[in-house]
Amino acid sequence: MSAFLQTSFHGARRRYLIGRVFLYVSAALIVAWSAAPFLWQFSTSFQLDRDLVGSAPKLWPDPISFDHFINIFVAKSFHRYLFNSLVVAGLTTLLCLLIGSIAAYALARLNVRGRFGILGFILAVSMFPQIAVVAPLYMLASQLGWLDTYRILVTVYLALGLPFVTWVLFGHFRTIPSSIDEAARIDGAKPLTIFFRIIAPMSLPGIVTTGLLCFIASWNEFMFALAFTSDIDRQTVPVGIANFTDLHYVPWGDIAAASVVVTLPLVAMVLGFQQHIISGLTGGAVKE
């Protein structure tokens, strides 16, 4: 009996160890697979063109060169795309948070009739394929004289971002006990006062994370920016990078440098807000 227990104990222990090794190998593979392409882009951005087209790629840049970074700003005016993207994504995020959080507050905590109908409508609309609205919006924008403006991009991104912001913040606001509003209402506070002085400050982490996700989405958007802007004074970063082709060859080094410039801040923000982002992205996905 005791011999049997011992062998089964050893067997279990061996199986446990094999499982652990398997787990760590898989985890390492996941990290390598996720990070390697960007790390290669990072290394590329510091290499000289002649090293990039050499017979064997160098994993580590030698010599380290900043030519590509200088090139994208001096020759390709990359800072103008960056500025446009900052304006568009920044404005979109602020307006999206303001309009979306107030709507979410009303839907979550005030007696709005047919609130689930409204939420369902917003969700359904958010699933419309964007290609189905780009042509009509182009015609409208051209009639209004809004082509090549920040206005048109902000308006479109706002409509794309609002469903997401409203839904996520709706979820957040529902978790706050309703006794808090009631107390404030008894004290005579108006709904918007309650929202701005009590509910919004209480949900600040959620609001910041939602804003970050909204910013990333606007920063990364390509199709509308491509269709609605043709002037470098209004084109955003994705359009700029997509158009980075010289006449006779593809400037992979410059492209890599531009990729690093636009992606590093995003990656830094995402890693900083990691925990919140994961819960923000997946919060609505499953019923608790």
Residue 100 or 211 having the CB closest to other proteins: 100
Restricted to residues 221-250, the positions that interact with other proteins (CB under 8 A) are 222-223, 226-227, 237-239, 241-242, 244, 250
| Residue of the chain from 47, 84, 93, 155 that contacts other proteins (CB under 8 A) | 155
Q: Which of 48, 61, 90, 138 binds other proteins (CB under 8 A)?
A: 138
- The SS3 call for residue 39 is helix
Q: Which is nearer to other proteins, 132 or 247 (CB)?
A: 132
Total residues interacting with other proteins, rule: CB under 8 A? 104
Angle formed at CA 85 by CA 171 and CA 209, multiple of 5 degrees: 20
Please name the amino acid found at residue 180. Answer: I
- Least distance in angstroms from the C-beta of 14 to other proteins: 13
What is the Cα 152 distance to its own chain's centre?
A: 20
- Which residues from 162-221 bind other proteins, rule CB under 8 A? 162-163, 166, 177-179, 181-182, 185-186, 191-192, 216, 219-220
CB of 56 to other proteins, least distance (A): 7
Q: Contact with other proteins (CB under 8 A): which of 110, 120, 193, 208?
A: 110
Residue 47, interface with other proteins (CB under 8 A)? no
Is residue 63 reached through a cis peptide bond, with omega within 30 degrees of 0 on the bond before it? Answer: yes
Is residue 143 within the footprint of other proteins (CB under 8 A)?
A: no
Q: For residue 57, is the peptide bond before it cis, meaning its omega torsion is within 30 degrees of 0?
A: no
| 237 token code pair | 């970063």
User: Strand, coil or helix: what is 263?
Assistant: helix
Q: How far is the CB of 148 from other proteins (least distance, A)?
A: 14
Q: Contacting other proteins (CB under 8 A), which of 97, 156, 199, 257?
A: 156
131 is an interface residue for other proteins by CB under 8 A:
yes
C-alpha to C-alpha distance for 6 and 15, rounded to whole angstroms: 14
| Minimum distance from residue 70 beta carbon to other proteins (Å) | 19
Least Cβ distance, residue 221 to other proteins (angstroms): 9
Listed ranges 22-30, 63-71, 73-81, 197-205: which one lies at the site for other proteins (CB under 8 A)? 22-30
Alpha helices (H) in the chain, listed in sequence order: 2-45, 49-52, 67-74, 78-109, 115-126, 131-144, 150-174, 179-186, 191-194, 200-202, 204-220, 223-228, 237-242, 252-272, 274-282
Please choose, from the candidates 39, 92, 124, the residue with its C-alpha nearest in 3D space to the C-alpha of residue 213. Answer: 92
**C-beta of 1 vs 132, nearer to other proteins:** 132
Q: How far is the CB of 2 from other proteins (least distance, A)?
A: 19
Q: Up-side HSE of residue 16: CA atoms within 13 Å toward CB?
A: 6
Q: Taking the complex as a whole, how short is the minimal distance between the CB of residue 184 and other proteins, in angstroms?
A: 11
Look up residue 56 and give its two tokens.
């064997």
Report residue 74: phi and psi, to 5°.
-80, -50
Under the binding rule (CB under 8 A), the answer on residue 61 touching other proteins is no
